[in-house]
Amino acid sequence: MREMPDKVLAQRDDVRLPLGQFSADSLLGHVARGRDYWREDCHAYLLREISCLAHRYPQMAGAFRFCFADYRDPLKYPVGHWGGLNPKGVVMCDHRRKRAVFAIQDACAPLA
């Protein structure tokens, strides 16, 4: 993840870099070994790592996570895993929290 900002900042360190629209699909309660799709731990890991990346570079202008809550998406073909939802939120449609919420809270704590 550090390759792109390192490359840009090696050429010009006076720029401000935004991190935009990152997330992963996750289903509440889906826990498995490895980095399976739709796994809550994988989603939380990604958000934590990107947040840490933003803290490492003073040139980062901010980060925009996509999106807060899962939502019904009529364009998505409904399959067994997500049933017509876009499951990239840190909470479900009914606002039950996924593990990604806690990863964001931890990532926003001051770094030691």
57-75 pLDDT, tens digit per residue, is 888 888 888 889 999 888 7
In the chain, count H helices and then E strands. Answer: 3, 4
Match 């479900």 to its residue by tokens.
92
Residue 68, domain member (yes or no): yes
7-19 pLDDT, tens digit per residue, is 988 898 888 888 8
Pull the structure tokens for residue 112. 């030691």
Residue 27, domain member (yes or no): yes
22-42 pLDDT, tens digit per residue, is 888 898 888 777 666 778 988
pLDDT of residue 105: 80
Angstrom CA distances, 35 to 18, 40, 85, stand at: 26, 10, 21
Count the domains in the chain: 1
Residue 54, domain member (yes or no): yes
pTM of the model: 0.79
Residue 26, domain member (yes or no): yes
Range(s) of the domain holding residue 103 = 17-107
